[in-house]
């Protein structure tokens, strides 16, 4: 899981900061945010730790935001509050309410936005910079190969 999020984070950074490639780039000057629907859930805690470790390894400032109880509206509000200082955001967007938030994060705050697992048809999600969607069968096969 950590490798997947390190890859997602790297992809986000490549997309996010191509505009500053001509300048001296210091990752410590940039903040990445993971907006989760449920902070400290046992499964999502693994995702949070992978995000944290990847940010630390790459030298980025980071923050993890979200509600203590599963609530997409609260997650969306936390994401918008964090967008004030975030350069890039990974949003746990499993709910259609997140579509408006993604558009707002991109257009109102200039934040680069990605989702780690949900596939949105091309052009159906305004403001989305990338998605790490997968085909469940392929994912299951890759996990089985990894553990074999």
Between the alpha carbon of residue 81 and those of residues 63, 105, 123, the distances in Å are: 12, 10, 26
Rounded to a whole number, what is the largest CA-CA distance in the chain?
Answer: 46
Encoded tokens for 119? 């596939």
- Give the pLDDT confidence of 68-106 residue by residue, as tens digits: 988 999 999 999 999 999 999 999 888 888 889 999 999
pLDDT score recorded for residue 13 = 53
The tokens describing 53, both together, are: 């470790």
User: How confident is the model at residue 139, as a pLDDT?
Assistant: 62
Output 146 or 110, whichever has higher pLDDT.
110
pLDDT in tens, 91-101: 988 888 888 99
**Bigger pLDDT: 64 or 4?**
64
User: Do residues 36 and 94 touch, judged by C-beta distance below 8 A?
Assistant: no
pLDDT at residue 126, rounded to an integer: 84
Q: Among 21-35, 48-62, 108-122, which range has the highest average pLDDT?
A: 48-62
Q: Regarding predicted confidence, which is higher, 119 or 38?
A: 38
- Across residues 114-122, what is the average pLDDT? 73
pLDDT recorded at residue 125: 82
């Amino acid at each position: 899981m950590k490798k997947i999020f390190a890859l997602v984070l790297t992809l986000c950074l490549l997309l996010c900061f191509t505009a500053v490639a001509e300048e001296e780039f210091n990752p410590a000057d940039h903040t990445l945010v993971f907006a989760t629907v449920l902070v400290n859930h046992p499964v999502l805690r693994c995702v949070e730790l992978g995000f944290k470790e990847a940010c630390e390894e790459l030298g980025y400032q980071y923050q993890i935001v979200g509600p203590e109880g599963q609530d997409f509206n609260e997650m969306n509000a936390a994401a918008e509050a964090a967008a004030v200082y975030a350069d890039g955001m990974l949003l746990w967007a499993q709910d259609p309410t997140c579509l408006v938030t993604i558009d707002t994060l991109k257009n109102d705050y200039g934040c680069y936005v990605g989702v780690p697992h949900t596939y949105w048809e091309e052009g159906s999600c305004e403001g989305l910079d990338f998605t790490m969607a997968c085909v469940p069968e392929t994912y299951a096969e890759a996990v089985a190969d990894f553990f074999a």
